Copies of this chain bind each other. A is one copy, B any other.
Amino acid sequence: MNQMASWGEWLRIAVEGLATAAFALSGAMEAARKRLDAVGVCVVAFLAAFGGGTLRDLLLDQRPFFWVRHVELLWAVLALCVLAMLFLRDRHFVLTEKAIQWPDALGLGLFAAVGVDQALQHQLPALVAVLMGVITGVFGGVLRDMVCNEIPSAFRDHRPYAVCAFAGGWVYVGLLYLGQPGSLALLACVAVTAGLRGLALWRNWQIPGWRA
């Protein structure tokens, strides 16, 4: 039993690390496309990787930030940026973007679950908790795009992303409300979010836009 919990913990850390790397890489590649310098590449990667969770902590008034408690995350993203600048070239971008879609989807689910969980610990209403989950998962990418002077792709590419985290967040809240244990709710939230995201990419689902 104890061993299972520790396996679960390890799995979570592995998914979190992979997802953070995927988010950071998406930032570094967007910075590269905009021809930013080394400082810009690092800052945009940091924003993409840590922006969502930091905004959540600001809104929930939580200190220290998670990247202060785990300062090794900062060093890892810094190292990733250096490696990316040394070895990743423009011709690798299409492949890299394909490769990070899955860790990105898993990360979206995990970060959403963590956001919902922390909001519920502050006794916030269900809708607010779900929105905190969405913010945790999505606003890293939003800040990344804003600093690169783009309309955030999460708001205009018509591919479900925030919506998957929204659905997953309600699953999390719903299972807790039904008295299920937190670990099951977390797993279900990740599975529903990542599953919906995967389905959406595979079936090319579109969310509606404004009809003129």
Contacts and interface: CB of A to CB of B under 8 A. Distances in A.
Contacts of A152: 40, 147
Most-contacted residue by chain B among A35, A151, A207 (CB, 10 A): A151
15 contacts: A34-B151, A34-B156, A35-B156, A37-B156, A38-B208, A40-B154, A41-B210, A43-B162, A61-B63, A68-B128, A85-B208, A89-B212, A90-B210, A146-B147, A147-B152
Contacts of A207: 37-39
Contacts of A161: 39
This protein's copies in its complex: 3
Contact of A210 (B85, B149, B155, B210): B85
Contacts of A155: 31, 36-37, 39-40, 43-44, 147
Given A40-B155, A71-B127, A147-B151, 12 more contacts: A31-B210, A37-B155, A39-B161, A39-B162, A39-B163, A39-B207, A40-B151, A58-B59, A61-B63, A64-B124, A67-B128, A85-B210
A203 interface: no
A43 B142 CA distance: 11
A52 B46 CA distance: 17
A210 B161 CA distance: 28
Interface string A36-57: 1111110110000000001000
Contacts of A154: 39-40
Most-contacted residue by chain B among A39, A61, A151 (CB, 10 A): A39
A102 interface: no
Interface of A: 31-32, 34-41, 43-44, 54, 58-59, 61, 63-65, 67-68, 71, 74-75, 85, 89-90, 124-125, 127-128, 131, 142, 146-152, 154-158, 161-163, 207-212
Q: Which 4 A-B pairs give the minimum distances between C-beta atoms?
A: A40-B155, A32-B210, A37-B158, A71-B125
Contacts of A146: 146-147
A127 B69 CA distance: 12
